[in-house]
Homo-oligomer: A and B are copies of this chain.
Amino acid sequence: MSNDHLYAVIMAGGIGSRLWPRSRAATPKQFLDLASERSMLRETVDRIRPLVPVERILVVTGEEHRETVLGQVPGLPGENVLLEPAPKGTAPCIGLAAVALLARDNDAIMAVFPADHVIADAAGFRRAIAAAAQVAEEGQLVTLGIAPDRPETGYGYIRRGELLGTYDDHPVFHVQCFAEKPDEARARTFVESGEYYWNGGIFIWEAATILWEMAGLLPELYGELQSVAEVWDAPECLPRLHEAWQALPQITIDYGVMEKAQRVVTLPVDIGWSDVGNWAALSALLAADENDNVVRGPGRVLAPGSRGSYLYASAGRLVVAVGLEDFVVVDTPDALLICPKDQAQDVRDVVRELQAQDLQEYL
């Protein structure tokens, strides 16, 4: 097949609060060089680029991040940065991208993924997307199913049903159901069954198909999107968009569409995927020293007697961590986090507490 109608839609609107204090309102996770020397957004673009040229890459983000996106992605046309007036969950974000693509290309196929994931096997990822695009051309909603390597309780799962067919050596299955984040016992059953995959939030479908599904399943959202689409290239588009977004409730594509639509399929992959959901997950991805510590950042770190810890020092700072075991230490110019790795998930609660105390300067 030709990929001329294949577009990448990179969702870069998250706040990454579990990666606080590096991830902040002004520079959330996806704009940071967390896992490599380059920002996660840049890595995400570079990963898809050999398959989708930059002219067909859309980045959806908040207005305040437009310059950051353009600065981090050389060659990205300005009109490919799609600005959401407010974060309203993945369904409106994807719907808006679909509208933008249909305004360009009636046959647009969109591969949608977050800007803040790590995928070790980039070539495998691109092969999977190319195969999924063929399935999408048949009007299916394709979601990548991440082969689980552990009974993770932090992710949703996809249960596969019967085989739909094989595309470029990739078997594709009907989705039997989606399962919310399970407890550990259930997660273990899931993994042992061989029938469950992690829901990594990577979707491939035709722009027309997803809008058609929204028309049936999310009519309110669809109505607002239509009203925006009708004035797409006109001056009144921007005020219309703002008005539309103000009215919308928060809704995810999983809950709003995927769990209810009919033609939902999954294409399993084993591509070294991680959502880098928290500091412990990030640490697990990075090379450790002889004491099993991961030491990062432009600043200096001394770690006498520390083991199994992630230690980050910002520019000009010296971090001395004595006798820490399996901790995360993230030291930024104004804020410091010290947290056991097994509580890294709860950093979100810290951010909520800062919000509750109105400590805006640290958010």
Q: Which residues of A contact B (CB under 8 A)?
A: 21, 300, 302, 304-305, 313, 316-324, 329, 331, 334-340, 343, 346-347, 349-350, 353-354, 359, 362
- Max chain B CB contacts within 10 Å: which of A323, A324, A334? A323
Known A305-B343, A343-B305: A336·B353 in contact at CB below 8 Å:
no
Q: A300-B359, A349-B304 are in contact. Are A335 and B318 (CB under 8 A)?
A: yes
- A16 CB → nearest B CB, Å: 16
Excluding A302-B350, A320-B338, A322-B350, 17 further A-B contacts by CB distance (< 8 Å) are A21-B320, A304-B353, A317-B335, A317-B336, A318-B336, A318-B354, A318-B359, A318-B362, A320-B339, A322-B337, A322-B340, A322-B347, A323-B339, A323-B340, A323-B343, A324-B338, A331-B336
A346 to B: closest C-beta gap in Å:
7
- Chain B residues with CB under 8 Å of A318's CB are 21, 334-336, 354, 359, 362
Assess whether A322 is in contact with B343, with CB atoms less than 8 Å apart.
yes
Complex contact A335–B353 (CB within 8 A): no
Q: How far, in whole Å, are A116 and B219 apart by their CA atoms in the complex?
A: 73
Cβ distance A356 to chain B, nearest Cβ, rounded Å: 11
Q: What's the Cα separation between A305 and B313 when bound, in Å? A: 23
B322 touches A339 (CB 8 A): yes
In the bound assembly, the distance between CA atoms of A222 and B362 in angstroms comes to 59
Chain B min CB distance to A101 (Å): 42
- Shortest CB-to-CB span from A44 to chain B, Å, is 29
In the bound complex, what is the Cα–Cα distance between A346 and B302 (angstroms)? Answer: 14
CA distance A67 to B304 in the complex (A): 36
CB-defined A-B contacts under 8 Å, sample of 8: A300-B359, A317-B335, A319-B336, A319-B338, A322-B346, A322-B350, A323-B340, A329-B338
> In the assembly, what is the distance between CA of A152 and CA of B300, in Å?
35
Cβ contact within 8 Å between A353 and B319: no
Question: Nearest Cβ distance between residue A204 and chain B, in whole angstroms?
Answer: 39
Q: Report the Cα distance A349→B323, complex, angstroms.
A: 13
- What separation, in Å, do the CA atoms of A339 and B331 have in the docked complex? 15
- Of chain B, the residue at the smallest CB distance from A346 is B322
A322 touches B300 (CB 8 A): no
- Contact A336/B320 with A304-B349, A305-B343, A343-B305 known, Cβ cut-off 8 Å: yes
Closest approach, in angstroms, between the C-beta of A297 and any C-beta of chain B?
12
Task: Give Cα A321–Cα B338 distance, bound, in whole angstroms.
Answer: 5
B338 engages A322 (CB within 8 Å): yes
Q: Enumerate chain B residues within 8 angstroms of A350, measured Cβ to Cβ.
A: 302, 304, 320, 322
Chain B residues, CB < 8 A from A300: 359
Contact of A353 among B302, B340, B343, B346 (CB under 8 A): B302
Give the residues in chain B near A349, CB-CB below 8 Å. Answer: 304
4 tightest Cβ-Cβ pairs between the two chains A and B = A322-B339, A318-B335, A323-B340, A321-B338
Judge whether A338 and B335 touch: CB under 8 Å.
no
